[in-house]
Every structure is written in structure tokens, then in C-alpha cells.
Structure 1
Amino acid sequence: MEARLPYDDFPVVFLPPYESPPAWVPPHERLYHPDYNNELTQFLPRTVVLKKPPGAQLGFNIRGGKASQLGIFISKVIPDSDAHRAGLQEGDQVLSVNDVDFQDIEHSKAVEILKTAREITMRVRYFPYNYQRQKERTVH
């Protein structure tokens, strides 16, 4: 017969605080209720086209890359820049640039592609959850 370990020998595990779900709202009232917003179009992939004159700045910064295993994300958008006017925002994940897959690319390679291109066609999606995880894991 196997000896059983007393509970004191097991590691202590701290669980995150429980998040209470929203109060129950009748289905016919959910359409216009703020806690039941089903508008998901902001999270769908979209295409952003930028033209960059020689020597000009991109108007945004990126963070992440292959080492983080979460992808490349827009970490800052300069207000009133072409990138801002094109709709880029902090938390956008860069899926591709000029048909180059950015989902598993080194940070330095991504920067090189963005800096050398004159016209940039980016496929992005707003993904704040993974962006927050990215910020917690990386320093750049």
C-alpha cells in the first residue's frame, strides 16, 4: 500500500481573484445593454496602407517578436501621424507586412522590413489580451 502525503506537503497555489459576471439581464434587453456588447468588428483583421517618404518616420513603434511567442504588436502610435490617421492603435497585432508573415518573426527582422519599405501594406488586428501579456513578458 502506498503512503499518502499529508496536505501540508503540497505547494500552496494562489488563484486570481474571481471576476463576477454581469448581473443577469433578460435576453430581449441585452441588445442595448452595455454589459452585453456583442460588437466584435473592432477585433477583426483589417488592412492598413502607409506610404513613407525617404527619411520619414513610420509614426508608430513595435514590440515583441519570436522570442516572446506572442507576435509583433503596435506599442505606440504618434498622434496626428499617418499611422494614426490610417487607424493604427496601441494593442494592434501585426499579422503581415507586404505579404511577409509577422506572426513568428524576430523583432530585429520586423524592424528592418518596416524601416526599408517605402509603401507598407499591413494586415493587423486589435488583440489587447495578448498585447497585455506581451508587455508583461518583454522589455522592448
Structure 2
Amino acid sequence: MDQKLSYDDYQLPVVFLPAYENPPAWIPPHERVHHPDYNNELTQFLPRTIVLKKPPGAQLGFNIRGGKASQLGIFISKVVPDSDAHRAGLQEGDQVLSVNDVDFQDIEHSKAVEILKTAREILMRVRFFPYNYQRQKERTVH
């Protein structure tokens, strides 16, 4: 029986990809560029800027999880449909890189929440990072 190694037991950096329930049929590489079954659009993983304005007493429209304890960063864990955050382009699995020029890549969860709740204008740098987000969900309860 195959024994599954944990991430920490691997010698080299490893990225675990999500299960692929229905993979597309094999297509020669030179034909994949314009084939609809292959997503060649990698710009979805590039950092982007989100700007939100929050009136006093209003909700953010999203939840976060993670923080310094998980060593993976802060991630968007939920976006309320039809909220300002949703319309601005936030999505579950986005890693929050910074908020109002504060680095969020090595910040305590409570400090991140405090910054987000007290700000009236939020300038966020995020990147879609579903693989680390999945690891984040497995490691934390936030």
C-alpha cells in the first residue's frame, strides 16, 4: 500500500494540485494554445489592486483566514455575493499581499482584522493563489 507523505516530508518544494475529476483528452502541445479545454490564461495569478470604500458601520463584504501562525499568509475565505468586494473582483483563494501599504504576508490574524475593520478606504494588493489557500484551510481554523 502506498504511504502518502506530508508536505513537510518532501525534500524539494512541492505544489499539490487539486484533484482533476474530468481531465481533458490528451491533445498535442502545439494544438493546445487555442484549444478551449486548456486554460492558457495565466494573468489570473498576477498581483492586482483592489480599492474599497467602507462607510462607518458598514461590513467589508469578505472574510479572511490565516496569518503568521500558519506561515502561509492571509487569504480571502469568503466574498459576499453582490457586495462591493465582489464587484471589485475579490474572490475566495486570493492571498492578501498588503493593505494600505502594510505588508500582510507575515502578519498576525488579529492585526489584519483590526486594520481591515478600522480603515475607511482600503487599497489591497492581492493575488489568486488557490494552492496555498487550500493548504491554509487544512492548517487553520480561522
- The 1:107–1:54 alpha-carbon spacing in structure 2 relative to 1, beyond 3 Å, is same
Q: Match for residue 84 of structure 1?
A: 86
Superposition RMSD in Å:
7.3
How big is the shift at 1:19? 10
Unaligned runs of 5+ in 1: none
Moved more, 109-118 or 36-45: 36-45
How big is the shift at 1:33? 2.4
Identity %: 90
Secondary structure of residue in 1 paired with 2:86: helix
How big is the shift at 1:26? 2.7
- The 1:52–1:30 alpha-carbon spacing in structure 2 relative to 1, beyond 3 Å, is same
Unaligned runs of 5+ in 2: none
How big is the shift at 1:32? 1.9
TM-score by length of 1: 0.82
- The 1:83–1:28 alpha-carbon spacing in structure 2 relative to 1, beyond 3 Å, is same
Cα deviations by residue, 1:27-58 (Å, 9 ceiling, x for unpaired)? 33111224543210111000000000001000
How big is the shift at 1:135? 0.2
How big is the shift at 1:21? 8.7
How big is the shift at 1:138? 0.4
Cα deviations by residue, 1:85-104 (Å, 9 ceiling, x for unpaired)? 00000000000000000000
TM-score by length of 2: 0.81
Larger radius of gyration: 1
The question of 1:31 aligning with 2:33 is answered yes
How big is the shift at 1:77? 0.3
Moved more, 19-28 or 6-15: 6-15
Count of matched residue pairs: 140
